[in-house]
């Protein structure tokens, strides 16, 4: 019986650890998205654009940018 309780505690500990890891990754992603959005607004002067208008603007330049970015910026 004590062994079962110990295993359950270890399982709960692992689950909490996984949850913390996923929350940390989500926070990192959110921060990265906010930072990139701020850079987009800064360099494209896009503060006044809606989300849809911003997407249209990015679509206009995406093919050119993706075709001409150096190997440093490619996957």
DSSP character string of 35-73: HHHHHHHHHHT-TTS-HHHHHHHHHHHHHHHHHH--GGG
> The tokens of 70 are what?
């150096």
**What's residue 70's pLDDT?**
87
pLDDT in tens, 9-67: 999 999 999 999 999 999 999 999 999 999 999 999 999 999 999 999 999 999 999 99
**What's residue 60's pLDDT?**
95
Neighbours of 49 (CB within 10 A): 15
**What's residue 73's pLDDT?**
86
**What's residue 75's pLDDT?**
80
Query: For residue 57, with 0-12 CB atoms within 10 Å meaning exposed, 13-18 middle and 19 or more buried, which class applies?
Result: middle
pLDDT higher than threshold 80 for residue 1: no
């Amino acid at each position: 019986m004590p062994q079962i309780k110990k295993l359950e505690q270890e399982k709960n500990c692992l689950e909490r650890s996984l949850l913390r890891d996923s929350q940390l990754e989500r926070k990192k992603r959110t921060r990265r998205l906010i930072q990139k959005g701020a850079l987009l607004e800064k360099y494209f002067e896009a503060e006044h654009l809606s989300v849809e208008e911003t997407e249209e603007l990015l679509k206009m330049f995406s093919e050119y940018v993706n075709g001409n970015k150096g190997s440093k910026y490619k996957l």
